[in-house]
A and B are shown apart, each in its own frame.
Chain A
Amino acid sequence: MRYRLIRRDHASTRAAVIAPLAALVLAMATSAVLFAIIGVAPGAATYALLVEPLADWGSLSEVLLKMGPLLLIAQGLAIGFRARIFNIGAEGQLILGAIFASAIPVYFPTAAGWWIWPAMMVMGALGGALWAAIPAFWRARLNANEILVTLMLSLVATQVLNYLLLGPWKDPAGFNFPQSVMFQWDAMLPVLFPGTRVNISFLFALVATLAAFVYMQRSFQGYQLLVGGLAPRAAGYAGFEESRAIWLSLLIGGAAAGLAGAAEVAGPIGQLQRSVSTGYGYAAIIVAYLGGLHPVGILFSSFLMALLYIGGDSAMVTAGLPVAAVRTVQGLLLVFYLGGLTFIRYCLVAVEPAGKPV
């Protein structure tokens, strides 16, 4: 007996829900084997990764703190991915957002007023969107592959950040560390839950989720992006402009990532540093796919991914798991999820063995 994948008439909702859960189980099982190979107790590591962060409010709040930027960026990216515009340079857009936002406290370190952090958020979104405008122009006008251009620009953004931190923006009183001045009080985002580091940027992410939901499920503009992603020739037939979809997708994704970058420097970090992003831009790609590119799914996947980050920190302490292990788990999650995704459109059917002459 052989098995074959047969296309379903309708997408299976059941498979859509089961796929990410099955991916989580399989990824954790594979990871456990890997952990055992490198000499880490799999049980303790898995517990530390997935359960420990939920044990108390303190670490749960750290999970929410990580979840904010992931959620925000992934919502922006998912819109583009559904339109088949592959922006994989959110990392660079985040960095540019952080740089743009930091310009205010760096150049006006003593300014005070309620408007400072909101202005920084606007600057951040603008910076991210501008950085994303380059690949948009390259793709819409020059026909250049946006995957490569966005990725290359992320590598360039890192160098821009280095240049600023080692040169003009270096804190003169910072013992030659590559970092800017500490931001003044008014440049910092208000904390959402007293006693934690969770700030109101978490609300931005939730609002972005709601907006993404309405945009993709109900708005005509979102519908046009969907058509362009599912059937580009149907979009051409309907008269939906491809260049518009390119610009919209990249600008939305860039602005979301830039905003997330601004919220990082104005939130938990409080200054511009080299480590402004710990790979949020890349992790958000996984978050977007793992959430099925659906605004509600992304809400769950961003929580899971944030959990893994914080769990990774605690697993390093309690189980001796290397930090890199978390990236491996993330990669495995996406691999298994993409395999499971198939069953939304296909089902496995047993068939008679194919024939040689009898």
Chain B
Amino acid sequence: MVPLLSLAGVSKRYGTVAANTAIDLNVMPNSIHAILGENGAGKSTLMKLIYGVEVPDEGTMEWQGRSVRPGSPAEARSLGVGMVFQHFSLFETLTVAENISLIVPGKKAALAARIRDLGREFGLEVDPGAMVHSLSVGERQRVEILRCLMLEPKLLILDEPTSVLAPQSVERLFETLRRLRDRGVSILFISHKLEEIRALCDRATILRASRVTGEVDPRAHSAADLAALMIGRAMPAPLPAEARTPGERLLEVSGLDWTNDDPFGVSLSGITMEVRAGEIVGIAGISGNGQQELAALISGERRLPDLSRDVIRMGGRPFGHLGAAARRKTGFAFVPEERLGRGAVPEMSLADNTLLTAHSRGLIRRGLIDRRAEAARTERTIRDFDVRTSGPQAEAGALSGGNLQKFIMGREILLDPDLLFVAQPTWGVDIGAATAIRHRLVAMRNAGKAILVISEELEELFEICDRLHVLHHGHLSPSLPLPQTTAGEVGEWMIGAKEAVDAL
């Protein structure tokens, strides 16, 4: 049988970095084909090449046996390729129908009707007249998929589609994808989640460090086999948590109500939680449910009015009204989700990035920066946390995602906080660095520190947390103890099913 899509020897470099090296790939008609690889292995780049967003440096591409070289997404679409991006390519200030009309020809009314019809047919219901900024992340994904389907593609590419879904919604998405496959649409499914691939896909191509390391039938292999192909060795074991009785309350949030003045943001209501010394508390939830807002309020990037200063307390003292620098002075440290531009200044050296949060630790004398102390502290961070870099004068923007995350984690841990708050600790980080970061967090917990983690990766939270909360629509669930709570129960909180039941 002639493959639908066939790549041979495809390579792509960005500057000095090889993103794809000599990739061979064959996608058959009527198949769900997985591209498996960890963060930074080159999956997203490969998809951009197929979709014409980028052009390969070398190699050939065949579509139904015919040699092609898509130079733009429009050309790829005209071949019959559709793509659902991981970070959606939707426009918040436009309606669903307007978003779709950007690449699908047709009158508005006719488009709206087709959106409804296709939505019913494939379980992707969404209101065509709704503004995209008012939609949940799951609904936005449906819009992206619908937009592709309206062009009647033969190949649909989905980049990490399950990372924005609750466990229950994942099964629903899989149903949709299987239905599509049965109607003759091949699926290219990109993921780093082994169990999902085994459940859904009939072929899997595995990438590691820009190269293909295997092509297998995922149903015939164990997760451990796939992992070995993906990372080149066995999955590292998690560090066991020592049994501890939680100590004093280091963070207390009591009845936090907060109205967002950003019309595209989320407001919070009735948030109540605490974190004690010697425990890791997780906050789960689908992104866009108030995580960023809650993080900014706990970190002090957003302050509460003086009147409600008592709503957030750290170490027993009111903190809600204090700014980020003042909170940091009293044993609090925070690692934000965006590394470049928030956790670190890309154009500044690592040494100057150390100063960002460690300035109160003897690096300033009479208003002037002590360059020697700054360099010494930076060197210590680099050494203690195994940051691969040329030295303290390297620019933060030149580091890989994993190394920069290790640097930022290290910088914050060296502040010796009693309470450490980490948002998305391993986003976009390779497995080696991710494991190192999780080990650090568990080691700190074992040493009696209080740790709060926000993560979209449920597996990660289950691995390291003592208990967790779920954030949905700006509401926080009660504390759910681990490992007694199942992923299914957490999932119900994530989609708000639990809340609705409780409200009745």
Contacts and interface: CB of A to CB of B under 8 A. Distances in A.
A112 interface: no
B195 interface: no
Nearest to A236: B301
B367 interface: yes
Contacts of A233: 338, 341-342
A6 B301 CA distance: 34
A234 interface: yes
A9 B398 CA distance: 5
B175 interface: no
B359 A220 contact: yes
Nearest to A355: B69
Interface in B314-359: 323-328, 334, 336, 338, 341-348, 352, 355-357, 359
Contact of B71 (A221, A236, A356): A356
Contacts of A352: 57
A233 B295 CA distance: 14
A234 B368 contact: no
Contacts of B75: 357
A282 B484 CA distance: 69
Contacts of A234: 341-345, 356
A230 B71 CA distance: 34
B412 to A, nearest CB: 11
A352 B58 CA distance: 10
B305 interface: no
Interface stretch (A40-48, A238-246, A289-297): A238-246
B344 to A, nearest CB: 7
Interface residues of A, number: 29
A241 B324 CA distance: 10
A231 B328 contact: no
Nearest to B358: A238
B71 A354 contact: yes
Given A7-B15, A218-B369, A219-B368, A237 B71 contact: no
Contacts of A3: none
B398 A223 contact: no
Nearest to B353: A234
B310 interface: no
A249 to B, nearest CB: 17
B301 A237 contact: yes
Given A218-B368, A355-B55, A11 B347 contact: yes
Q: Which of A234, A236, A241 has the most CB of B within 10 A?
A: A234
Given A10-B398, A238-B324, A219 B68 contact: no
A120 to B, nearest CB: 29
A230 B324 contact: no
A325 interface: no
Interface string B353-397: 001110100001001110000000000000000000000000101
Interface string B124-147: 000000000000000000000000
Given A355-B69, A356-B69, A237 B343 contact: yes
B370 to A, nearest CB: 10
A241 B15 contact: no
A358 interface: yes
B328 A239 contact: yes
Contact of B342 (A218, A237, A240): A237
Contacts of B397: 9
A231 B323 contact: no
A219 B324 contact: no
B321 to A, nearest CB: 13
Interface string A1-23: 00000110111000000000000
Contacts, number: 91
Given A218-B368, A231-B345, A237 B69 contact: no
Contacts of A238: 324-325, 356-357, 359
Nearest to B335: A237
A239 B324 contact: yes
B361 to A, nearest CB: 13
Contacts of B67: 357-358
A227 interface: yes
A220 B356 contact: no
Given A9-B395, A237-B324, A358-B69, A223 B301 contact: no
Given A9-B398, A10-B398, A237-B343, A223 B71 contact: no
A220 B68 CA distance: 56
A10 B336 CA distance: 24
Contacts of B323: 239, 241
A6 B352 contact: no
Interface in B383-442: 395, 397-398
Contacts of A223: 352, 355, 369
A227 B71 contact: no
Q: Among A230, A236, A354, A358, which residue has the most Cβ atoms of chain B within 10 A?
A: A236
A356 B55 CA distance: 10
Nearest to A237: B342
B299 interface: yes
A172 B71 CA distance: 76
B242 to A, nearest CB: 32
Nearest to A347: B15
B37 interface: no
Contact of A237 (B326, B355, B356, B395): B356
A7 B336 CA distance: 25
A9 B400 CA distance: 12
A10 B395 CA distance: 7
A236 B348 CA distance: 16
Interface string A209-230: 0000010001111010011001
A238 B75 CA distance: 45
9 contacts: A9-B16, A220-B367, A231-B341, A234-B345, A237-B343, A238-B359, A239-B301, A239-B327, A358-B67
Given A230-B348, A234-B345, A356-B71, 19 more contacts: A9-B395, A10-B395, A11-B395, A214-B368, A220-B359, A220-B364, A220-B367, A223-B352, A233-B342, A234-B341, A234-B356, A237-B343, A237-B357, A238-B324, A238-B325, A238-B357, A239-B325, A239-B327, A357-B75
Interface of A: 6-7, 9-11, 214, 218-221, 223, 226-227, 230-231, 233-234, 236-241, 352, 354-358
Interface of B: 15-16, 55, 57, 67-71, 75, 299-301, 323-328, 334, 336, 338, 341-348, 352, 355-357, 359, 364, 367-369, 395, 397-398
